[in-house]
Structure 1
Amino acid sequence: MSFKKKNIDFVHISKYFYIASIALTIIGIICLSFLGLNYSVDFRAGSNVDITLSKSLTADEIKPVLDKLGVAEGTTVNPGADRMTIRFTNVLNEDQELQLKQEIAKLDEKASFEVNTVDPEMAKELAQNAIKAVLISCLGIIIYVSIRFEWRFAVAAIVSLLHDAFLVIAVFSIFRLEVDLTFITAVLTIIGYSINDTIVIFDRIRENLRFSKLKTREDLAELVNRSISQTIKRSIYTAVTVFVAAFFLFLLGGESIRMFSLAMVIGLLFGAYSTIFIASPLWYVLKGDPKKKKPAKAS
């Protein structure tokens, strides 16, 4: 199918995507305000015990063990076929950790343990560093795009990137998905992928500007539509290729990268449409009326 021949009015269609994105953003803000994020032990003080089992154990079988240790309150147990995760809101001391291993070993002699502990100061520092990483990356993108193109392209790119990152965060908040260090890695990866795709379209817009004589807003809209049409196949093919890889990584990958893969899948979906229907049309809005040539003075 040729998008160019179809003469799709991306600038006009983008209005509906603006409405959808604003609605999703409002929902996301409300959910984050009331629900917050489901932080993993990476960002929350406490102990996280991953247990590899040789047989299946239920949460009911583990509860007496937690009661015996006196740590049942606030503790969550996530059982699996051959794996179980126990999250404690408090940091286990050496005696509690040893007793936990001994009690579970009575239920499964071949059980192996991996204990991760984060103290309050470390959790706070990790959260602050994650926010700094996202802000610094956005600042670097603003500087780069402003130098390479112009400030309007930079503003449009950052709005698009923040849109993608925020909606991924909002989805994790709504469905109470766990936010860990791999999630931050995924958000930064999504930002990098999205800006790369956006720059391709911006570069085509800049190239077409050199050879176009713009007199009206309609001329500018037609230029943006033509530029998107010339690059949309590349954007779609790239997005689909990366999406398929991330999706199967989510289905078949290990537990340690599951949240990373899921964040990538969600971010790629939002990024695919924001690049086409938000970034470039927003530049069109910021550009304003094309500059008309001044009439030559009579000699």
Structure 2
Amino acid sequence: MATGFAQWGNDLYTGRRSYAIVGRRKRYFVAAVVAVVLSLAIVGVRVAGGGLNLGIEFRGGSELTVSSVADTSQEPAAAAVQAIAPDEVPRISSVGDDTVRVQTSQLTNDQVQDLRLELADAYGVDAGEVTSAFIGPAWGQDVTQKALIGLVVFLLLVSLVMTVYFRNWRMALAAIIALFHDLIVTIGIYALVGWEITPATVIGVLTILAYSIYDTVVVFDKVRENTTGILDQTRSTYAERANLAVNQTMVRSINTSVVALLPVAAILFIGAFLFGAGTLRDIALALFVGMAVGAYSSIFLATPLEVTLREREPAIAEHTRTVLDQRADRVADLGEAGSDDAVLAAAGVEGHRQLQPGSHLGNKAQPRRRRPR
């Protein structure tokens, strides 16, 4: 299996095998738009139905934690809250195998002390095993504000650096659009799952920004390498060279994504099923979804977007028409007698002679040796 995967990757890099990702970019654009619209719709439905499931750090309130319990069922905690504050609708969750967490709106000091004793009695533990804390909503608002500031600064710096590095603002714009796609889809899936949005969730969402941009930059760097001197030859169009770059970096994207997702998946499993609700679960879900979506967008969205923007340039558009016209004339001249490579090639090839995506030149790709005189 490993040998087959390695051969597949080698075929993609040399051009023996090719997937028309750029050529079929319209279907990927439609898929991206549908994913974004569905994600926004999910968030909208959640907000209209009572709001997102915000953690106590964002909504504020009292939190009591009961440790060393023999039974983590929620009924004793609900009964204890009803006995002290009948109008309260608590949020009760299990953390690990021996801890119960109870969250309510803000309670008075007397209510908190009474609830501590009631919970200790309900679960049969000492009162010292029940801890309480009050968390104000201002802390969560401060986290949100700083996260938004960090996002804006990050986007501005990334746009500037990518524009300077690639000497082309279109690559920066395509990367930012793909990045927004990753963020919106990640938030939508998180809202669909219905887990609490905590500061750990915000950290996870901000972390995927770097991963998504990194993966996209690697692909764009190969696109730049393949398209250097593109106007000096008439064998391939800009879109074909960019498609070859995507195919050449596909194995690398798959490998790095799998390597990154495996430990995150392990953390997600441990946080969700072994430890219960907690920081590990919240951050791992955001990371897992964001990394998977980012890997997809770096292959199927970022480069096709960049090609669409570049083909609006007069020079690239004229070059594409020239290549296609000469290729059509070549096909008409050779007819069925020409080889596959000759049919694909345009007349008057000059400059860089890179592989035509989807074809294999074999010995023709090797440099010719001069015969001794």
TM-score, structure 1 normalization: 0.89
Q: In 1, distance between residues paired with 2:58 and 2:151? A: 16
> After alignment, is 176-185 or 56-65 more displaced?
56-65
How far is the alpha carbon of 1:191 from its aligned partner?
0.7
User: Across the two proteins, how many residue pairs are aligned to each other?
Assistant: 292
Q: In 2, distance between residues paired with 1:164 and 1:174? A: 15
Aligned to 2:111: 96
How far is the alpha carbon of 1:104 from its aligned partner?
1.5
Aligned to 1:296: none
Question: Aligned AA for 1:143?
Answer: L
Specify which of 271, 290, 298 is matched with residue 294 of structure 2. 271
* 8 Å contact kept, 1:42–1:181: yes
Question: Aligned AA for 2:101?
Answer: T
How far is the alpha carbon of 1:152 from its aligned partner?
0.3
Aligned to 1:84: 100
Matches within 5 A, 1:220-299: 220-253=238-271, 254=275, 255-288=278-311, 289=313, 291=315, 292=318
* 8 Å contact kept, 1:217–1:290: no
> After alignment, is 241-250 or 72-81 more displaced?
72-81
- Residue 134 of structure 2 aligns to a residue whose secondary structure is strand
Aligned to 1:194: 212
In structure 2, relative to structure 1, the CA distance for the partners of 1:168 and 1:116 (3 Å cut) is: farther
Q: In 1, distance between residues paired with 2:193 and 2:177? A: 24
In structure 2, relative to structure 1, the CA distance for the partners of 1:147 and 1:217 (3 Å cut) is: farther
- Residue 168 of structure 1 aligns to a residue whose secondary structure is helix
Question: Aligned AA for 1:84?
Answer: V
How far is the alpha carbon of 1:114 from its aligned partner?
4.5
- Residue 230 of structure 2 aligns to a residue whose secondary structure is coil
Match status 1:161 vs 2:179: yes
How far is the alpha carbon of 1:121 from its aligned partner?
2.9
Match status 1:67 vs 2:52: no
Deviations 1:170-210 (A, max 9, x none): 11112212111111111111110111111111111112222
How far is the alpha carbon of 1:108 from its aligned partner?
2.4
> After alignment, is 46-55 or 150-159 more displaced?
46-55
> After alignment, is 96-105 or 153-162 more displaced?
96-105
Question: Aligned AA for 2:305?
Answer: L
Aligned to 1:17: 28
Q: In 1, distance between residues paired with 2:297 and 2:209? A: 12
Question: Aligned AA for 2:297?
Answer: S
* 8 Å contact kept, 1:130–1:184: yes
- Which structure 1 segments of 5+ residues have no match? 294-299
Supply the RMSD in Å over aligned alpha carbons: 2.3
Q: In 2, distance between residues paired with 1:214 and 1:252? A: 55
- Residue 58 of structure 2 aligns to a residue whose secondary structure is coil
- Residue 92 of structure 1 aligns to a residue whose secondary structure is coil
* 8 Å contact kept, 1:41–1:117: no
Specify which of 171, 175, 179 is matched with residue 193 of structure 2. 175
- Residue 106 of structure 2 aligns to a residue whose secondary structure is coil
- Residue 86 of structure 1 aligns to a residue whose secondary structure is strand
Q: In 2, distance between residues paired with 1:16 and 1:243? A: 26
Aligned to 1:297: none
Aligned to 2:224: 206
TM-score, structure 2 normalization: 0.72
Specify which of 18, 25, 34 is matched with residue 7 of structure 1. 18
* 8 Å contact kept, 2:171–2:306: yes
Q: In 2, distance between residues paired with 1:13 and 1:52? A: 56
Question: Aligned AA for 1:101?
Answer: R
Q: In 2, distance between residues paired with 1:69 and 1:223? A: 70
Match status 1:120 vs 2:131: no
Specify which of 33, 55, 69 is matched with residue 54 of structure 1. 69
In structure 2, relative to structure 1, the CA distance for the partners of 1:43 and 1:214 (3 Å cut) is: farther
Q: In 1, distance between residues paired with 2:235 and 2:282? A: 44
